[in-house]
Structure 1
């Protein structure tokens, strides 16, 4: 397969959230909207990478079946990485066929490779929560006058919170202040020490924080808040799975078969939480005990086709309006969306 030119200093220009996170399960989770018709295809061999966190959680059943020699449509080799920096060079150079990455990074890669990246599915929706030690926050409007601790300045937490506050008539940096931390663990520490009472956190950090801070509660689910305020069919999207364009063009039927098996894996994970948590722990993605508590609140999905395009393109448009460089300087063309 041809190799695409590796763009030097790519990752320094990318504004991504390296989350190990998941949001509340909701919506359509199992490849419900693929617009690609089933077609006979020869089995293919795919090398697939995922980040430790929610983008890997939905894959664990398929990973387990592949390792166990189950009868699958294709031959899969999976690998796990701690950050997008480990994945993107291998994807661009052709060492990987597919990868689970943050949603805006997919758009950045599409621009940097001049269209050589295709998005196959949304695999994680909203991941962010406002947590509070107390009961003062019941709505977005209650954040006015408050200081929130959070990591992710310039990335998804800031972009999502800014959009929601603007839609609600408030403003980030105006009547709502954020004390930005370098890592989510610092926000948890601030809550635990009493230095902060309100934080913006992703799962599973929410679950971890609740084990350390007595009385900490989830005040707002930003995924739900986005759905209330967005009027364009978009969703708060955290992660997607992408493939190299040449991989898709070589055998689109095999790619579609993969998506069906991916969707089945997602359904199994969401429907078998204790067993899925054990698998997640065995792969070193998230501790099994944490995974079991967090999974019921995880928005792990496999949304494809037209619905994928609607949700993802709307989300990318919001990011583009705030900072064009966060999506690579331009919005992707229609060919970016597989099956739509």
Structure 2
């Protein structure tokens, strides 16, 4: 009986060790197989935040190849995510939440664009009270720019529907053209389009920094996480080291951009991303590009999503995110 029991235990141990070794061997084999990663970013500041990687394509592991694409439409970006045409995306943070709530299979890994909206005009605006009775042109009716500005107005005792008039335009280019032509004296403008406007209409200046105003309203010592990087759960689960390497290179890329705006501008122009190097170089300081891991950005993200949820729950997918939304390495 004892011999039989001993034999059975030996067989079980051998089986466990064999399965363990097989599992380890299969994992190692999988990690050594050629891996193609697709990275997609929206045009503008999100693409700028990764422009060094677009240009230099740094290695993030043996047998790993990475391709980069910049798209102009948020709808196209969403379509690519839902059809899983990419592994890593930079997206508006609320879109990341929206897609997560639709079980898209992506987690947020870092927030990297911390607000790009400024009020530009040729009038003296020193406080919120000065906005009463004014007309302000902007973009994004019912979307995040609208939610952010209306939130800040109400936080400062300004009724956005009674105390001033908001005029909405279809996009930043149309908004800029209207302002440059002199048809508007106050516009809520995003970078890098803002810098282009300031160069062409020399009588104008930045009269309000929405990022500074948000920091005061939120009392978090940080601005709002306008855009974030998301990674597919499949890539996280099967190639965790590759993900870590990518994030490390992205953080280095962002640090380099802030330290070398002229070179970043050259890269942007050379890759034909839609703006010349001078405009890009001048805009970087106001683009607020900063790498903050999801773990460190969590409080700011939750606060931002809560504001958007209160404005229109559909902006974040009908409900607030849970802990699994965040990738922590």
Task: Place the TM-score, normalised by the shorter chain, in its bin.
Answer: 0.7 to 0.9
Pick from 35, 56, 59: which aligns with 2:50? Answer: 59
Provide, for residues 227-271 of structure 1, a one-character-per-residue CA deviation record: whole Å limited to 9, x for no partner: 011135663222111122222122223212211110000001110
Work out whether 1:249 is the aligned partner of 2:240: no
Partner of 1:176: 164
Shift in CA distance, 194/305, structure 1 to aligned 2, threshold 3 Å: closer
Secondary structure of the corresponding residue to residue 79 of structure 2: helix
**Larger Rg, first or second structure (1 or 2):** 2
Work out whether 1:303 is the aligned partner of 2:265: no
Provide, for residues 40-63 of structure 1, a one-character-per-residue CA deviation record: whole Å limited to 9, x for no partner: 994754210111111111211122
Aligned counterparts of 1:294 and 1:207: Cα–Cα separation in 2: 6
Unaligned regions of 5+ residues in structure 2, if any? 1-27
Pick from 170, 178, 202: which aligns with 2:190? Answer: 202
Aligned counterparts of 2:306 and 2:172: Cα–Cα separation in 1: 26
Pick from 247, 257, 260: which aligns with 1:269? Answer: 257
Aligned counterparts of 1:78 and 1:232: Cα–Cα separation in 2: 34
Partner of 1:133: 122
Partner of 2:41: 50
Secondary structure of the corresponding residue to residue 303 of structure 2: helix
> 1:216 offset after TM fit, Å?
0.6
Q: Select the structure that is richer in helix.
A: 2
| Structure 1 range deviating more: 278-287 or 117-126 | 278-287
| Structure 1 range deviating more: 80-89 or 328-337 | 80-89
Aligned counterparts of 1:46 and 1:104: Cα–Cα separation in 2: 24
> 1:145 offset after TM fit, Å?
1.7
Shift in CA distance, 162/267, structure 1 to aligned 2, threshold 3 Å: same
Work out whether 1:288 is the aligned partner of 2:273: no
Pick from 75, 78, 99: which aligns with 2:89? Answer: 99
**Contact preservation (8 Å) 1:233, 1:310:** no
Aligned counterparts of 1:192 and 1:92: Cα–Cα separation in 2: 38
**Contact preservation (8 Å) 1:122, 1:240:** yes
TM-score (normalised: structure 2): 0.84
**Contact preservation (8 Å) 2:121, 2:206:** yes
Secondary structure of the corresponding residue to residue 329 of structure 1: coil
Provide, for residues 55-75 of structure 1, a one-character-per-residue CA deviation record: whole Å limited to 9, x for no partner: 111211122221xxx543353
**Contact preservation (8 Å) 1:234, 1:310:** no
**Contact preservation (8 Å) 1:147, 1:198:** yes
Matches within 5 A, 1:66-215: 66=57, 70-73=58-61, 74-112=64-102, 114=103, 116-135=105-124, 137-215=125-203
Aligned counterparts of 1:141 and 1:316: Cα–Cα separation in 2: 27
Shift in CA distance, 214/305, structure 1 to aligned 2, threshold 3 Å: closer
Pick from 231, 234, 241: which aligns with 2:219? Answer: 231
Aligned counterparts of 2:164 and 2:31: Cα–Cα separation in 1: 55
**Contact preservation (8 Å) 2:92, 2:227:** yes
Structure 1 runs of 4+ off > 6 angstroms?
none
Shift in CA distance, 232/298, structure 1 to aligned 2, threshold 3 Å: closer
Unaligned regions of 5+ residues in structure 1, if any? 1-39
Shift in CA distance, 205/71, structure 1 to aligned 2, threshold 3 Å: closer
Aligned counterparts of 2:78 and 2:179: Cα–Cα separation in 1: 34
Aligned counterparts of 1:98 and 1:54: Cα–Cα separation in 2: 16
> 1:211 offset after TM fit, Å?
2.2
